[in-house]
Amino acid sequence: MSEMSEANKDLLEKYRKEVALRRKYHEQLVELKGNIRVLCRVKPVLKEDQHEEGQSVVVTTDPNNESALSVLKGQGRSHDFELDRVFHPQATQEEVFQEIEPLVTSCIDGYHVCIFAYGQTGSGKTYTMEGSTENPGINQRALKHLFSEIEDRKDMWTYTVTVSSVEIYNEVLRDLLSKDGEKLDIKINPDGTGQLHVPGLRLIEVKSFQHIKKLLAQARRNRITFGTQMNQHSSRSHALLMITVLGTDLASGAKTTGKLNLVDLAGSERVWKSGAEGERLKEAQNINRSLLALGDVIQALRGKEKHIPFRNSRLTYLLQDSLGKGNKTAMVVQVSALESNVGETMCSLKFAERVCKVELGHPTSCSHGRPGLQGLNRHAANQIHQQAITTTNNPLCPVSQLVAP
C-alpha cells in the first residue's frame, strides 16, 4: 500500500509539473499573438438591411489572407486594412470564439481579460456577444469553456466564480441583476489596494454554466433598448458582464485572481443619420462621448503616456484594471458591408487600426509598425504550439495513470 501511495504521489507531482509547463506555453503563445487582439467581423447582408434597392456591397475580404479586408469608397478608390483576424460574412459563431478562447483560459490562470464588441448600430455586436438560442455568442461560449476548464483542474485547484452585470446608460451605472435596477457609483476600495469597486453592486456566486445562463437572461431583460432609424431594437447602453475567478492550489495554497469582462458596447452612430431627437439625442451624444473616451484611453496607451484618462467616462473607469498594462484585451469590430454604411464602416476600421497599434506590456501581433506574427514571431509561436501539443500528449501526464489504492 505504501509503495502504491508513493507511486501516486510521484505521478501526481509529474502531472502538476506538466500542467505548469502547459500553462507557461499557453501564456507565451498568447503574448506572441498579442495581449491586445483586434478582430473584425463583416455582417452578412440581410434583406431587412437593404433599405434601398440595388445597394452595392463595398466591403470585401481576401480568401488568401485572413487578416485583410478592403473598403471601396467610390470612384474606383479603395482603402485596405490589415488586422489580427478578419471574419468573412459566412463565418460561424464557433470560428469567432476560437480566436477568443485562449484569453478565457488566461482568466482562469489569474489574468485580467476584457473582450468587447465595437461598431455602428445594427452591425451585429449583440449577436456576436450574446448570439441566439441556436447559435450562442461569445458570452455563453466563454462561460461554458470556463466551467469546463475548472472541471478539468478540480484535482489540483479549487475555484470560486462570482458574477455581476452592469449597464452604463447616459453615464449612469445600473445593476442589471438587481430587481430595482439601483443606480451605482465607482469608488476606490478603502482597503488600501488602490483597486476600484462599486458599492452596492450585487455579486452572485455561481456553481455551474446553467446557473450563469439564467443570470445572463435576467441581465438581458433588464437592459435598455429603444428604436432608432438605424435599428428598431438598438441597445442604448453599454452592457458589461463581469466575472471574477478566485483560484486556490490544493497543494501549495497559492491563490490567483482572474477577471473576465464581456462588454457589448452601445452602437456608435452619426446623430444626423440615427434620426435622434430629444432624449434619444442625449443618449446618442453620451454614447459617442464614452466611445471617444475609450479611443482616447487607447491612444494614450499607444503613446505610452504617463497619464491615461480612464476617468473621462464611466466605461473606461470601470474597465481600468483590464485595459491597463500587462492585461489582455480582444476587440471584435463589427462592420456592415453595405454602401449606405461606408462612412460608419470606415470610422470603425480606423478606430480598429488605432487599437491595433497598442501594446499592453508585450510585443503584439498587428501590422502597422509593431512586431507581428510574421517572421520570427510566427516561427516562435509555431514552436511553442508544438511544445504545448507534445506536453499535452505526454503519456505520464493524465491523472488516470494514478495507481488505484
Distance CA 141, CA 92 (A): 13
Closest by CA position to 351, among listed 297, 303, 306, 304: 297
Where are the alpha helices (H) located in 319-374, listed in sequence order? 320-323, 342-356
Nearest by Cα to 318 from 225, 201, 193: 201
- Is 60 part of any known ligand binding site? no
Q: Which residues contact 166 (CB under 8 A, 6 or more apart)?
A: 173, 174, 175, 176, 184, 198, 201, 239, 240, 242, 318
**Which run of H or of E encompasses 150?**
helix 138-152
Mapping DSSP to helix (H, G, I), strand (E, B) and coil, where does residue 379 land?
A: helix
Contact 138, 129 (CB under 8 A): yes
User: Per the annotation, does 181 bind a ligand?
Assistant: no
The gap between the terminal CA atoms of the chain, to the nearest Å, is 7
Establish whether 375 is an annotated binding residue.
no
| Residue found by looking up cell 476606490 in the block | 188
Beta-bridged to residue 86, according to DSSP, are: 40
Cell numbers at 279, concatenated: 432624449
Residues 6+ apart with CB under 8 A from 205: 160, 161, 162, 163
Sign of CA dihedral 230, 235, 236, 238: negative
Q: Are strands 238-249 and 255-264 parallel, antiparallel or unpaired?
A: antiparallel
Q: Name residue 141's amino acid.
A: R
- 76 labelled ligand-binding: no
Write out the three cell numbers for 182. 439601483
Q: Give the type of residue at 116.
A: F
H/E element, 93: helix 93-108
Residue 364 annotated as part of some ligand binding site: no
244 is in an annotated binding site: no
Q: Which of 386, 364, 376 is nearest to 31 (CA)?
A: 364
Asked if residue 122 belongs to a known ligand binding site, the reply is yes
Annotated binding site for ATP: 119-126
Annotated binding site: 119-126
